[in-house]
Amino acid sequence: MRLEFGTFITPGSDDPERVVALAVLAEALGYDLVTVQDHPYNPGLLDAWTLLGWIAGKTERIRLAANVLNLPLRPPAVLARSAASLDLLADGRVEMGLGAGAFWPAIGAMGGPQRTPAEAVQATSEAIDILRELWDAGTRRSLRFRGEVYTVDGAARGPLPRHDIPIWLGARKPRMLRLIGRKADGWSVTYGFLPEGDRRGELRRGNAIVDAAAREAGRDPREIRRILNVTGTFLSERGDAFLQGPPAQWVDDLAPLAIEDGVSTFILMSDDGATLRTFAQEVIPALQERVGAALPASSDLLRPARVRAKRREGIAYDEVPASLRTAAVEPGDLAYARVRNTYMRGGAPGIVLKVSSVAEVQEALAFARRHPDLPFGVRSGGHGISGRSTNDGGIVIDLSGMNRIEVLDEAARLVRIEPGARWMDVAAALEPHGWALTSGDYGGVGVGGLATAGGVGFLAREQGLTIDHMRAAEIVLADGTLVRTSATEHPDLFWAIRGAGANFGIVTAFEFQVDPVSPQVGWAQFVMDASDLGGFLERWGAAVEAAPRALTSELIIGAPRRGQPLVAMVLALVDSGDPQAIVNALQPIADIAPLYQQRVVLTTYADVMANASREDHNGQGEPVARSGIVRHITPRVAQLAEELILNNGTYFFQIRSLGGAVNDVDPEAMAFSHRTGNFVLSAMGASRARLDAFWAPLQPHFAGLYLNFETDVTPERIAIAFPPRVLDRLRLLKARYDPDNVFRDNFNIAPAATIALGAAAPDRDEPVGTGAHEGHDHA
């Protein structure tokens, strides 16, 4: 069994910085939780929420709670927002310790209500319901609640907390203990407040009441955490009094409370740094060891019955590593609706393991590997077009919390970026240095998925692909080892992850060499008449190919609308701050067709990328998208695209620029080897069959495809994404780095030994860098 430890700090207002320093010290010493008392009527104390917010900003890991919050002075609907707000800001570190109220005259003096003990219990019960209702990400309607104490008349939802905030109650009396058994996630009590002479007896009797009420309510008593506030003095000599002696005596005093009375969290009430340190260094490890030896892991805290009831088949939920438990999200959790779907695809995973360090990635991966028959997704930004970072009933490792961006070497323009960062944040972080890293056109996309496959964005013609800038990566391989890969360290792996990265492990950090960018760039948005669709596409393609490399453009066409002219949205970025150079670059594009609307501005690259919201993903259903790379928009390609669009084969058709710097790279340099195309076409369809019917005639004109714009994960598509020799090499490497095919739930490259059984032998004479059909498009 793993114990948890917290501190309890007096929030004195005479030296606020000392209070915060104690919390920071607690984090540095490895405590799990920092708590502060809440007596809002006491002029000598800092306000608990304000203080917790400040502590949250000064710490990174430690969890935060009031011990305990004064409910009568904090209306629950407001409390729900306070806690959710802080939980969001503090990245899921908030716990809710609630108290029904005491010191009633002081509460009255602050304008608070007076409550009988029975009313206080009722109020607490209703408050729990209101909090949980307002934190439920699965419901959108506003809350109406008619209780005996509280009425909530249409409270709007949101903000939602980052994680399911556990609610524990501070209590001593039977009525409140029964409420804990029925509803709460924890019981918190101060050992010194229990009747002197029979404190353990009182603790046992309290536990028995909680347990009986829990069973009566159909709960397992092990769902309810027992939290004990303790205080003492470290002395050199052993004595008879509780926690009055050397650290070894503290261990002797506390161990039975954990082993026999089920206490799983000890909170040390002390404002003395030395005491916190001695406890952390000399009591906690010894106590963990003693209790760990006496109690099996199965006596660990259980998730609430309401959560366990919604568990999916085949997942060993109770074996989730301890370090991942707090942040893991299961179908029964209130936060589940926030993490189940991706941007493009609806999902219902059995568990989402949110990780925040390499060690946690390794633990999560080991857990996933114990479930070889389940779907397994790796998520960074959740924007995968194929949507494989969610699934149905399987495991997802979510790296969104690993999102740091740092400059490693200013002179060499070397930056380190973690996979959970979003490209808009990358652009914003690089802007003060005068740099930009080519990525994509949408700031919400995550670094992990894009930078393992390609990266086609608004600087593509000038800077190439995102992967062309990668200089190293840290990757957790299928066997759990962390390796650094670069041109000189595991170079074959480095070759593979630049194009087929999702197949080889979980990248936990990338190093990129970035380029300077003009402080202001030209940014154009044109709405153009595309009635002459085929001709329009051809002219756009020719204009882009003739444009200077500083210009990168894309066009988007939606489904035609009856009675309305067909329009295209043309976007273009010119990396120049010179208005005349921008106009010169854009004019040939503006001339290809009548303009319905145009907007050209001087702005920053980071502003162009700041185009996404941070809302939770709410993709539904199965996306269908196809992609193909062409050298030129030839009359035939334009005609076939016209047929696709005009016959409603697609509701979203897009062409993006490749060419320029993309094609400067040696096709053999990395797994992404399509270095002759000038454009990548992509289309999304409402019907797979209909899209494919119109896509098939285009196929002979394609020189490969870009996996990140695809949803078809069949071997046939993978054989188009990677030319035969490349695929051959990838399969051999896959056999070496992921022989069990752990990373299979995406565009899977079968390990070499497996494919020998059935697939056609790769054509070794095919030069790397040419797709099977490349060269057909010279019409």
Ligand X SMILES: Cc1cc2nc3c(=O)[nH]c(=O)nc-3n(C[C@H](O)[C@H](O)[C@H](O)COP(=O)(O)OP(=O)(O)OC[C@H]3O[C@@H](n4cnc5c(N)ncnc54)[C@H](O)[C@@H]3O)c2cc1C
Judged by the rule CB under 6 A, the positions of this chain that interact with ligand X are 342-344, 377-385, 388-389, 399, 419, 440-442, 445-446, 448-450, 452, 454-457, 501-502, 506-507, 708, 746
- Minimum CB distance to ligand X smaller for 385 or for 589: 385
For ligand X, the nearest residue by Cβ is 449
**C-beta of 190 vs 508, nearer to ligand X:** 508
- Closest approach, Cβ 390 to ligand X, in A, equals 8
Q: Compare residues 180 and 573 and give the one whose CB is closer to ligand X.
A: 573
Answer yes or no: are the C-beta atoms of 466 and 514 closer than 8 Å.
Answer: no
The single-letter code of the amino acid at 295 is: L
Return the number of the residue (385 or 633) whose C-beta is nearest ligand X.
385
* Shortest distance in whole angstroms from residue 325 CB to ligand X: 22
Tokens of 506: 């979980």
Q: Residue 513 CB, nearest distance to ligand X (Å)?
A: 19
Closest to ligand X by CB, 198 or 492: 492
Least separation, in Å, of the C-beta of 615 and ligand X? Answer: 13
- How far is it, in rounded angstroms, from Cα 470 to Cα 475? 13
- Closer residue to ligand X (CB): 341 or 676: 341
Q: How far is the CB of 679 from ligand X (least distance, A)?
A: 13
For residue 736, the minimal CB distance to ligand X (Å) is: 17
Beta bridge partners of 153: 144
CA dist 356 and 257 (Å) reads 32
For strands 521-529 and 506-513, give the pairing.
unpaired
The candidate with the shortest Cα–Cα distance to 701, out of 768, 643, 762, 761, is 643
Task: With residue 641 as reference, give the H or E element that holds it.
Answer: helix 635-646
How is 185-245 classified by DSSP, letter by letter?
A: SEEEEEGGGSPTT-HHHHHHHHHHHHHHHHHHTT--GGGSEEEEEE--EE-SS--SSTTEE
CB of 453 to ligand X, least distance (A): 6
Nearest to 145 by CA among 80, 194, 90: 80
3-state secondary structure string, 531-585?
CCHHHHHHHHHHHHHHCCCCEEEEEEEECCCCCCCCEEEEEEEECCCCHHHHHHH
The pair of three-digit structure tokens given for residue 1, joined into one six-digit string: 């069994």
CB 283 within 8 A of CB 254: yes
**Cβ contact 62:90 at 8 Å:** no
d(CA 65, CA 229): 13
Question: Minimum CB separation from ligand X for residue 686, in Å?
Answer: 17
In whole angstroms, what is the distance from residue 763 CA to residue 81 CA? Answer: 61
Q: Would you say 291 or 609 has its CB closer to ligand X? A: 609
CB of 505 to ligand X, least distance (A): 6
Closest separation between CB of residue 655 and ligand X, Å? 12
Sequence letter at residue 17: E
Among residues 95, 52, 486, the alpha carbon closest in space to that of 265 is found at: 95
- Min CB(474)–ligand X separation in Å: 10
Nearest to 345 by CA among 304, 379, 370: 379
Which residue, among 206, 118, 224, 122, has the nearest Cα to 168 in the 3D structure? 224
- Helix, strand and coil content of the chain, in percent to the nearest 5, comes to 35, 20, 40
Of 245 and 350, the one with the shorter C-beta distance to ligand X is 350
Please name the residues in contact with 490: beta carbons below 8 A apart, sequence gap of 6 or more: 483, 484
In angstroms, what is the minimal distance from the CB of 497 to ligand X? 8
* Closest CB to ligand X among residues 270, 682: 682
